[in-house]
Amino acid sequence: MGTANALQGLGEIYRAQSRNREAEEALKKALEIHSRIGNDMGTANALQGLGDLHRTQSRSQEAEKCLTKAQHIYSLIGDDLGTGNTLRSLGLLLSERGQHDKAQSLFCEALSAYDREGSSFSRAQTLLYLAATYLTKGNFVEAEGSLNEALIISIQLGDDRLQARPLALLSRIFSSGSQYSVTFAAPLHTRAARRQTGDDDILRGAALHDHGKAFLIQSKYGQAQADAYSLSRALFSRAGDARGEASALRSLGTLYTLQGQFELAANRFAQARSTSVAISDYDGELMALGCLMGACLLQNKFAGLRSYCVEALKIYDRTQYLGS
């Protein structure tokens, strides 16, 4: 078994180096040994390696044969990760053939396998392939949902390169949508490109903030809150960017205001104000006070409105805004 495993590893190295002939020879020898000694896991691994190799060589029928056999073995022995990987590879193969409905079904099956196995990274990768399939079919809403989940997983994993792809694809969706979506396509696309170079939490938070704005303008309030502003605030906070954190808090407050959750809105606006005060950011404090005034006005709380207005005037007077 040791020889077979070594050949398997060697085949994968050759495949990564695009030395396809050597890769195929090594994987076939590994497959022969694993099959002879009855090692099902090794047999499935070698078949998957050969299937993926054949797919990259456009040897579609051979690839499908190997991957289908591997998937069957993985299912029999209860290997969910292997099952998910082969289902994903088969989905990619069918997608390359233009069989997008069948590919979509296989990607969804792969996601179920990854859920059982608990592989977040593999799930995020597969969500990207699923989203690409949806985009090819013009199903932008479904694509957006898959990309949102992939983005959240990549943020949680802290994988900079993985984050770049959903951000880039989301910018495509926004660009092809309404005139409001186009407003946010450019910053998303720019920040997605910068994610490839491994920038820090500030850029990540800014990209998510833009992402939330795009949802907000489209009245997708729940998504804006869950997928963007809350994560954006957390990233700004971790990076020590108080201005960014205050901006995300104001956006959260606006979101809650639009949902009629005025108590939560006032709390976020107050937090944003405190954050701005802590760094002597008068512009930020004035914006937070303006948001608080708006929330009071919507609730006919005129005493509160007057109080915040007076505090804003004091800031203007203290910083000589009125004289500028």
The pTM (predicted TM-score) of the whole model is 0.58
The pLDDT, as a whole number, for residue 272 is 92
The total of other beta-carbon atoms located within 10 Å of residue 276's CB is 25
Label residue 7 by pLDDT band (50, 70, 90).
Answer: confident
Taking the C-alpha atoms of residue 170 and residue 180, their distance in angstroms, rounded to an integer, is 14
Does the pLDDT of residue 98 top 60, yes or no? Answer: yes
Exposure b/e, 215-236, CB count within 10 A at least 16 = b = bbbbebbebbbebbbbbbbbbb
% the chain with pLDDT above 90:
27
The pLDDT, as a whole number, for residue 271 is 92
The amino acid sitting at 78 is G
Taking the C-alpha atoms of residue 225 and residue 72, their distance in angstroms, rounded to an integer, is 41
**49-to-83, 157, 264 alpha-carbon distances in Å:** 13, 26, 53
Taking the C-alpha atoms of residue 309 and residue 311, their distance in angstroms, rounded to an integer, is 5
Mean pLDDT of 192-217: 53
